[in-house]
Structure 1
Amino acid sequence: MSPEAPRPLAGLRVLDLTVALAGPYGTLLLAGLGAEVIKIEAPQGSDMARFNPPFYGRDGIHVGKMQEGDISLTILARSRAKRSISLDLKAERGRDLFLRLAETADIIVENMSDGTMERLGIDYARVAAVNPRIVYCSITGMGRPSPMPGVKAMDITIQALSGVMDTTGQPDGPPLRFGLPIADLLAPLYGIIGIQAALRQREATGVGQHVEISMLDALASLLPFEHVDVFQSHGFPPRTGSHHTRLTPFGVFPTADGHVSIAAATDAWAERVFEAMGRRELIEDPRFATRGPRAVNADAVNAMIEAWTRTLTTAQVIDALATQRGVPTAAVRTAAEVIADPHLRATGAIQPLVHPDAGEIAAVGGGIPIRMSGSTVGLDRPAPKLGADNAGIYGDLLGLDDAEIASLKAAGVI
């Protein structure tokens, strides 16, 4: 696809009032798909992610105390392809400017704490009064009003409350946090789906709407897909470590030099695993011949496979199962190996980060993992400095002259 091909969301303007991860990741995706995303922060910087180590500055990349001129790698990653303006929404002039911007916008995304948007006077009802076509997306921890108003909705909190943590870890061990901030990353994906659906409905009705996404709802909605309630009622533990009991043999096994994943979820694949092990007699054993009995006897199956894989290198296991017998098997790669993968670099799923002054730096960010035949996507502009687009937005878009902009800056509104 030619780099001149259109971006699918080109022509849409997004006002980004998000902080931390859940909201900024959603607006990052919108920017990568071609929308004009204007990130709005207080003049001193109000996104808590600005203070997340590691930082990049005159001392290179470091994880120490933030110094003058440092920019968090978090911001360099999550603000790519966005524009940046500063605006004090607590000031009356700031609120008035925001509502003027809202009149020109198609989408607003916010993930502020309960009651914040109402206190500022820029909640959905107020914005819709000046722009009925607005699609206003709110990403919250547990909904509004929150069923647990005293609980701060951090990713680990949502993992704990959603039941997902109860399914992660060894059967005889404690619940474990999922390795990535999965609640923070999942909620904005649902947010993008909701925004796209609302835009589609707006084409028919001419009217926007309020899209509300709860991190708790999003993560908890996935729990029933594994039927944990039914399996627990039949004596299966909620946590099965690196194995999937219902699909045994299905899990991660140690080798002489690493680990492999084996997904022999069908009877035919399980037979081929037993054959590769030199244990064809297991195919006729009623405890292991079909999926149901294998699930009941998963510990015995996994122990036999582990005893075999430990005697072989990762490459030998892959050859015996994947190459020779077509059983889904793969090496468990390290995160460093994946980040360095030339294929993922070529597709743009992994891409170098760029500092607005220093250029490309020795760190990476995630790209937009979407390919389209008639348009392009991508995060091809570095994150701007805070307020870098004040003149363009306030001057060119809202028509303020230099004196008005200077007055706003002197008053601390921008």
Structure 2
Amino acid sequence: MTNRPLEGIRVLDLTVALAGPYCTLLLAGLGAEVIKIEAPQGGDIARFNPPFYGKDGIHLGALEEGDVSLSILARARAKKSLSLDLKSAEGLRLFKELAKQSDIVVENLSDGTVERLGVDYDSLKGVNPRLIYCSITGMGRPSPYPGLKVMDIVVQALSGVMDTTGDKDGPPTRFGLPIADLLAPLYGVIGIQAALRQREATGQGQHVMTSMLDCLSSLLPFEHFDVFQRMGFPARSGNHQTRLAPFGIFRTSDGHVSIAAANDKWAGLIFEAMGQPQLIEDPRYATRGPRAVNADALNGMIEAWTRNLTTEQVIHALATSRGVPCVKVRTAREAMADPALRESGAIVPLVHPEAGEIDAVGSGIPIRMSGSTVGLDRPAPTLGANNAEVLGLLGLGADEIENLKSQGVI
């Protein structure tokens, strides 16, 4: 039995920025050998993202010699870096030789780029029919919005997700994380895993395609926003989920709590804790449907109670004493410092390739398996750090590699 589930699988990584690199980060964490192909002239654009870590610690200043972007330290862990000019004939030839020995190619380059470079799926499947080729795009190919530059905030706006986020009388609101950039690669990994499984039966690879817009928009129907809007409910309900009231974020005297009392029993226990048990007999609040219709008034009564208590007192009254789901709303820094999340590996320290562990954290691989291990146990490489190792797979010696370097191919 292999130690990691994807050991023996080789991935050629043609990704930049976030969506594609997160896909290959997950594959690396599952044990695949990921070879990150970067232009010799500078590499992934994420290498230029502040903040940087260098001799002056973590800073937001201009990139200086020796500095490394925290973006790369987070997104290129457990990968190998090959600097290779795919615009050159020799660089393209070497890439195709590597493709013959690889299982997967992942790309998220702008529309038309892989075709211009000659590394698109149609060009590579003749080189290696078993190759699984994953494209993560912003809008799909061809894009329904030709010429539109895709960023996460653009996808959020077009997906309809912004319409569901924010106060009902306020503007549409951006989700706090680059959710489209992070969701599409998850679907990409699912598609790749399925294609690997099918290849076992057919012996053939295939083209796996997913887009940020498709992935994010596909989640909207789970809340039936169209139906609820026809019934008069706003898409945006702020910090509350109206149809499940009482279900949301409530202010306390020293912070906020999250209360999720989606059934009649829990609602009755909240009324009991408030000293108003008779509310469970009130037809406006007795069952879920009427509570949804009267959610504003209900939430107002509950917050009038919670605002006079500390967070700890509300949690004691609801969660500890009555079993109603209620927790403190933590800050991001509090969550990232949670020893349980560190212990599980969901959040891990970032490591500089030379300086070692630094004062920043990265995402781990939040998967546990009983028969194998997962994880990102190698720091991100510097640009071209693995040139000799990777090109050695093709039988190239030191003199040949030095000649490629002098020609600017690597």
For 2:269 and 2:222, how far apart are their aligned partners in 1? 28
1:273 corresponds to 2:279: no
Q: Which amino acid aligns with 2:18?
A: L
Structure 1 segments unaligned to the other structure (5+ residues): none
> TM-score scaled by structure 2?
0.99
Q: State the match for 2:98 in structure 1.
A: 101
Q: State the match for 1:141 in structure 2.
A: 138
1:378 corresponds to 2:403: no
1:407 corresponds to 2:403: yes
CA RMSD of aligned residues (A): 0.9
- Report sequence identity in percent: 75
Cα shift at 1:111: 0.1
Q: Which moved more, 1:200-209 or 1:398-407?
A: 398-407
Q: Which amino acid aligns with 2:41?
A: Q
1:360 corresponds to 2:388: no
Q: Work out whether residues 43 and 383 of structure 2, in 8 Å CA contact, stay in contact via their aligned partners in 1.
A: no
Q: Work out whether residues 13 and 106 of structure 1, in 8 Å CA contact, stay in contact via their aligned partners in 2.
A: yes
Cα shift at 1:403: 1.9
Cα shift at 1:50: 0.7
For 1:45 and 1:12, how far apart are their aligned partners in 2? 27
Q: Which moved more, 1:237-246 or 1:399-408?
A: 399-408
For 1:241 and 1:182, how far apart are their aligned partners in 2? 18
Cα distance per residue 1:8-62 (max 9 Å; x no partner): 1000000000000000001000000000000000002231111111000111110
For 1:177 and 1:46, how far apart are their aligned partners in 2? 30
1:392 corresponds to 2:389: yes
Q: Which amino acid aligns with 1:405?
A: I
1:15 corresponds to 2:9: no
Structure 2 segments unaligned to the other structure (5+ residues): none
1:72 corresponds to 2:69: yes
Q: Work out whether residues 5 and 376 of structure 1, in 8 Å CA contact, stay in contact via their aligned partners in 2.
A: no
For 2:317 and 2:386, how far apart are their aligned partners in 1? 58
* SS across alignment from 2:173: coil
Task: Give 4+ residue runs of structure 1 displaced > 4 Å after superposition.
Answer: none
* SS across alignment from 2:129: coil
Cα shift at 1:5: 6.7
Q: Which moved more, 1:180-189 or 1:348-357?
A: 348-357
* SS across alignment from 1:94: helix
Q: Which amino acid aligns with 1:300?
A: A
Cα distance per residue 1:51-96 (max 9 Å; x no partner): 1110001111101111111110000010000011100011111111
1:49 corresponds to 2:59: no
Q: State the match for 1:351 in structure 2.
A: 348
Which structure 2 residues correspond to residues 279-318 of structure 1 after superposition, within 5 A? 279-318=276-315
Of 125, 128, 145, the residue aligned with 1:128 is: 125
For 1:55 and 1:137, how far apart are their aligned partners in 2? 30
Q: State the match for 1:226 in structure 2.
A: 223
For 2:349 and 2:178, how far apart are their aligned partners in 1? 21
Q: Which amino acid aligns with 1:90?
A: K
Aligned residues: 410
For 1:77 and 1:402, how far apart are their aligned partners in 2? 31
Q: State the match for 2:170 in structure 1.
A: 173
1:248 corresponds to 2:245: yes
1:235 corresponds to 2:235: no
* SS across alignment from 1:130: coil
Q: Which amino acid aligns with 2:4?
A: R
> TM-score scaled by structure 1?
0.98
